[in-house]
Amino acid sequence: MPSEPAPPRGPFDVAIVGGGVVGCALARRFALAGAAVVLMEKAPDILDGASKGNSAILHTGFDAPPGSLEAACIAEGYREYEEIHARLGLPLIRSGALVVAWSDEQEAALPSLMEQARANGVSDVAPLTRDETLALEPNLAPSLRASFRVPREGLIDPWSAPLAYLTQAMAHGAEVLRGCAVQGGTREGDLWRLDTTRGDVSARLVINAAGLYGDLLDEALIGRRDFTIRPRRGQFVVYDKPAAALAGHILLPVPTALTKGIVVCRTAWGNLLVGPTAEEQEDRATAPLDHATLDALRAKGEEILPALAGHDVTAVYAGLRPATEEKDYRIKVHEGGSYVTVGGIRSTGLSAALGIAAHVLRLAEEAGHGWQAPNEVAWPRMRNISVAAPRDHESAGNGGIVCHCEQVTRREIEAALSGPLPARSLAGLKRRTRVTMGRCQGFHCSGPLARMTAGAFDTPMAGNG
Amino acid sequence: MADLPSKVDVAIVGGGPAGLAAATELRRLRAGRVLVIEREAEAGGVPRHCGHSPYGLREFGRPMLGPGYARALVARAEAAGAQLATGVSVTALSDGPRLTVTSEAGTGEIAARLVLLTTGIRETTRAGRMIGGTKPGGVLTTGGLQGLVYGAGLRPFRRPVILGTELVAFSAILTCRHAGIRPVAMVEPGARITARHPAGLLPRLLGIPLHLGTELAAIEGRERVEAVVLRSGGAERRLAADGVIVTGRFRPEATLSREGGLTYDPATGGPEVDEFGRTSDPAIFAAGNLLRPVETAGWCWAEGRAVARAMARALAGELPPPAARRVARAGALAWVVPQRIAGGGSPALGTLQVRAARAASGRLSLSVDGHETAARALRALPERRMLLPLPAGTGLPEVRLVAAP
Ligand SMILES: Cc1cc2nc3c(=O)[nH]c(=O)nc-3n(C[C@H](O)[C@H](O)[C@H](O)COP(=O)(O)OP(=O)(O)OC[C@H]3O[C@@H](n4cnc5c(N)ncnc54)[C@H](O)[C@@H]3O)c2cc1C
Ligand SMILES: Cc1cc2nc3c(=O)[nH]c(=O)nc-3n(C[C@H](O)[C@H](O)[C@H](O)COP(=O)(O)OP(=O)(O)OC[C@H]3O[C@@H](n4cnc5c(N)ncnc54)[C@H](O)[C@@H]3O)c2cc1C
């Protein structure tokens, strides 16, 4: 169906390409600085790329390369999250982490890892003997050698957080264009004119936060790329809620040069996850699951926590890290200060996003951009869907529970289908509310849910993924 | 929580066939105030969405469609004077026994002299089976499919693949037929159809190709299912399909009992019970499919009624004290119910129910203190009902399936 060309939009002060956690944090930071912001996301909803599936850990950065931009952004991001989370209604479960050694070699590596942590400003790490470790985590396999504790590593909700950042940006006037892919652009005077699938959008400053497509967007807009994205897949298995009682801390292995390794930890929703793998792949769009790999993850989980053996797996998923040929983030100002690439935010972007945003704002200010910050800051509150605070179903007028496994109420679903950034797909609704994400995956609730969402989605509900 | 009592004699969690049968029987036996707590807007359990026969043969003496059967069970329980609280979920079980409940009105607590858990089962999902590939829309369990077809009048796909050949897979076929959906294949990892004759004739009758000895290795597609990858005999091939129905491999809905600290049997996936349906907390009973995967509605109904009788005796202080005599299991057996024997006669679960872990021909034998008390030769197939008499006496019982050489 041919449609009218959309009228040009703008000029905006700042155009952000990409609605992952990094783009959402950037939108917030620049909107709070007083800029007129537009965020463009090619998918029907935000959080459709790398930010779709991660381990949901708020890292302290204890194991980051000291002196790296990544280390600095994680530290700053952590601090800001800690400061603002309560005002936005976001959880922070201060579980702490244990880095556990299972061999002589790994045990020998612990002191230098603690040294590295201190160099990164994480000075509260503490060594634990085998017995001390087992006293803290009695379900760990007794074959462990020793560990150290990182008290401030925590668990957060990886979807509510970016949603909160963007909602706060919108409360400060930011515009969000979903289903809007940036295809190219030119500079005319001091304005960029971006060619998008929803018409022309003009802005003074363009920020590339395109995640797994960052290199391609650089090529399309500035005609060159400083890095190449090499998607690195991470698969996970998620256990049902009773398994969450088996581990209080985030259980980390001794990292290798390639990866942080297989983690066992609770989630903010009260499940237990085991993952991720680290597998290079070409495809940037989909992260396929592999039965044998999932089986191996299960076995690995049971090696670490033997009691996991009797527990049900309720979900499996995979995410893609936007890795590049280098370890550190690829953040760079181009085109006389009118364009910033925020690329290669590989495996710590959830923790670092707020810090990255603050860093990029400073770069923009150094490049001569400046705005008048608003006098009052709005703090929209997210509905809590984590185990860290009371849930909606506990208060009156909730409309009754629709999804029993995750205890999602009618009122929560209705709220997610309306408001400033309504869910427009089942995937979007799941990320906002967790409907159908529990142990039955829609066995019980698909009927009522289909009735409730009739007309709300671009493609009507055809079952769970 | 205006109209919910804070104290009852018996609280029944789950208003499916087992819970409703128990409520009716408890009222008939004058057990006092009986409350059935059901989280859905209507009681009736799984049959509410099974718009096909056969239900009700044992209970009403005639074949009925699921929804009519569910309504009839509800009417009986209400006529007997049981109180039904729908739209109320039980979220926690604590000592007392006490139930934490939540509803449109928020949370509350209910104390009961005895509790009966009849929370039923669910199917193992695509995730639980750890099927590979992408995660598009259009992958459903039979329960999910029935919710969409009978519950919301939708047709989620047109040409799906059906995974599994337990009885419920044939329920999926009937549901597809009802909605004008034409399955392109039925896929079974095992060497033969799991369900009993004559259900196995259905795919052939309807022209649905049946692939035995075949795994569903992966699902393809981004927004919607586009194809599946089938693996058999080391070879893989792609089959175009727009949906997947993942059927069977039932798991008891046991999270509540597990989080409530009741002894859990990893073999059945449900709480451990003795022959009175009593769990490791003597004030908490269990019946229906929560006890094991999976039985027919008629079986669950009869089991609910029988456990209700034991509960009436418990209220009157007439049940023998719980005992820790465990039924040991040996050979190719998947599980045994009841798991413990108290002794003392008049059991609610009148037989030992066992299931084979895999197809095997051989001898099923029951011994007490090493002396065989019952045995029979059989050809055991997974998911088929096998029964033995309850062990008598006070010795330690063992059930064994010895495969023939
Ligand atoms: C397995 C795994 C585990 C992880 N665990 C953790 C963890 O525990 N803690 C942590 O802090 N981090 C973790 N991470 C890292 C974190 O998830 C990423 O760093 C982060 O999601 C990167 O976000 P992003 O916004 O840069 O990219 P994305 O989320 O990919 O966002 C980019 C967006 O841009 C859009 N886009 C692309 N091109 C265009 C275009 N041309 N026009 C419009 N839109 C476009 C995409 O659709 C996408 O939505 C993990 C990552 C993975 C994969
Ligand atoms: C697709 C399908 C087709 C079938 N077809 C047939 C057939 O043709 N003939 C036949 O005889 N049998 C059939 N069966 C089996 C039959 O439906 C079951 O055996 C029967 O429903 C089991 O009864 P139940 O009471 O144990 O559990 P259910 O019927 O599962 O009822 C359990 C109830 O407990 C409620 N509940 C669970 N947790 C809570 C909680 N925490 N708080 C409050 N309420 C809760 C649930 O909402 C549900 O209503 C079929 C099953 C399925 C899945």
Residues A379 and A403 in one domain: no
CATH number reported for the structural domain that contains residue A245 in this entry? 3.30.9.10
The highest-confidence range among A178-187, A455-464, B354-363, by mean pLDDT, is A178-187
A231 CB under 6 A from ligand 1?
A: no
Residue A354 lies in a domain: yes
Of A237, A447, A460, the CB nearest to B147: A447
Chain position carrying tokens 């795919």: B203
- State the nearest Cα–Cα gap between A402 and chain B, in angstroms: 8
For residue A5, pLDDT beyond 80 = no
B245 contacts in A (CB within 8 Å)?
none
Q: Which residue of B89, B122, B152 is in closest CB contact with A451? A: B152
- Asked if the Cβ–Cβ distance from B139 to A237 is below 8 Å, we say no
Cα–Cα distances (Å) from B188 to B19, B203, B359, in that order, read 33, 12, 14
Element (H, E) at A275: strand A272-275
Radius of gyration of chain A (CA): 22
**A36 vs A204: CA distance, rounded Å:** 10
C-beta of B141 in contact with ligand 2 (< 6 A):
no
| Residue A212 sits in the same domain as residue A288 | no
Q: How much is the pLDDT for B213? A: 96
Domain B322-405 has CATH 2.60.40: yes
CATH superfamily of B125-248: FAD/NAD(P)-binding domain (3.50.50.60)
SS3 call for B277: coil
Q: What is the mean pLDDT of each run of 10 residues along chain B (405 residues)?
A: 85 98 98 97 93 86 94 98 97 96 96 98 94 94 92 92 94 94 96 83 86 96 95 96 96 94 96 98 98 94 98 96 91 95 92 90 92 90 88 90 83
A244: left (phi over 0), alpha (psi -120 to 50) or beta: alpha
Q: Which of B36, B119, B121, B174 to mutate to test the pocket of ligand 2 (most atoms within 8 A of CB)?
A: B119
Residue A286 has its nearest CB partner, among B103, B144, B222, at B222
Same domain, yes or no, for A82 and A9? yes
Residue with token string 């599936």: A53
What is the CA(B339)–ligand 2 centre distance, in A?
Answer: 22
Identify the CATH number of the domain defined by range B1-124+250-319: 3.50.50.60
A168-196: average pLDDT: 97
Q: What amino acid occupies position B85?
A: A
Q: Are A78 and A15 in a shared domain?
A: yes
**Per-residue pLDDT reduced to its tens digit, A383-398:** 999 999 999 999 999 9
Minimum distance, in Å, between the CA of residue A436 and any CA atom of chain B? 10
Task: Answer yes or no: do A196 and A87 share one domain.
Answer: yes
Q: What is the average pLDDT across A437-455? A: 87
- Say which CATH number the domain at A72 has: 3.50.50.60
What's the pLDDT at A462?
Answer: 62
3-class SS shares of chain B: helix, strand, coil, % to 5: 25, 35, 40
Domain annotation covers residue A464 = no
Q: Which residues contact A113 (CB under 8 A, 6 or more apart)?
A: A62, A63, A99, A148, A254, A255
Distances (CA, A) of A239 to A149, A214, A260, B99, B142: 24, 33, 21, 25, 22
Does B104 contact A396 at a Cβ distance shorter than 8 Å? yes
Q: Are residues A223 and A347 in the same domain?
A: yes
Using the predicted structure, report yes or no on whether residue A3 has a pLDDT greater than 70.
no
Is A397 found in the same domain as A365? no
Q: What distances in angstroms separate CA B293 from CA A212, B247, B288, B398, one per listed residue?
A: 44, 13, 9, 21
The parent domain of residue A162 ranges over: 1-94+156-228+327-384
Nearest to A85 by CA among A418, A291, A296, A353: A353
Closest CA to B196 of B170, B161, B163, B162: B170
pLDDT for residue B1? 44
**A186 with A308, same domain?**
no
> B118 C-alpha vs ligand 2 centroid, how far in Å?
9
Residue nearest to atom 45 of ligand 2 (CA): B14
What is the CB neighbour count within 10 angstroms for residue B210?
A: 16
Number of compact structural domains in chain A: 3
Report the C-alpha gap between A437 and A428 in whole angstroms: 12
> In terms of domains, do A34 and A147 share one?
no
Residue B232 distance to chain A (closest CA, Å): 15
Domain stops at, among A284, A307, A323: A323
Ligand nearest to the CA of A156: 1
Closest chain A residue to B259 measured between Cα atoms?
A242
User: Within a domain: residue A460?
Assistant: no
Are residues A4 and A82 both part of a single domain?
yes
Task: Locate the domains of chain B by residue range.
Answer: 1-124+250-319, 125-248, 322-405
Query: How much of chain A, in percent, has pLDDT values that exceed 90?
Result: 90
- Residue A290 carries which side chain, given as an amino acid letter? D
Return the percentage of chain A with pLDDT > 70, whole number.
98
Pocket of ligand 2 contains residue B14 by CB under 6 Å: yes
DSSP label at residue B184: -
pLDDT at A4: 67
**Position A6 in a domain:** yes
Report the gap between the CA of B10 and the closest CA in chain A (Å): 23
Does residue A376 fall inside a structural domain?
A: yes
Examine the domain organization and report whether A398 and A249 are in the same domain. no
Q: Evaluate: CB of B256 within 6 angstroms of ligand 2.
A: yes
Nearest CA to ligand 2 atom 35: B14
Residue at A292 is within a domain:
yes
A465 in a domain, yes or no? no
Q: Of A338, A353, A384, which residue sits at a domain end?
A: A384
pLDDT tens-digit profile of A224-274?
Answer: 999 999 999 999 999 999 999 999 999 999 988 767 899 999 999 999 999
Q: How far is the CA of A123 from the centre of ligand 1 (A)?
A: 29
Q: Could you say which of A384, A403, A427 is where a domain stops?
A: A384
What residues are paired with A252 via a beta bridge? A99
Q: Residue A457 domain-assigned?
A: no
Q: Is the pLDDT of residue A465 over 60?
A: no
Q: Is B1-124+250-319's fold the same as B125-248's?
A: yes
pLDDT higher than threshold 50 for residue A108: yes
Residue B37 per-residue DSSP state:
E
Looking at the structure, do residues A179 and A262 belong to the same domain, yes or no?
no
Say which residue, B1 or A180, is predicted with more confidence.
A180
Interface test with B, best of A413, A440, A452, A461 (most B CBs within 10 A): A440
Cα(A348) to ligand 1 centroid in Å equals 10
Distance A275 CA to ligand 2 centre (A): 34
Burial A254-278 (b: 16+ CB within 10 A, else e): beeeebbebbbbbbbbbbbbbbbbb
CB pair distance less than 8 Å for B139 and A465: yes
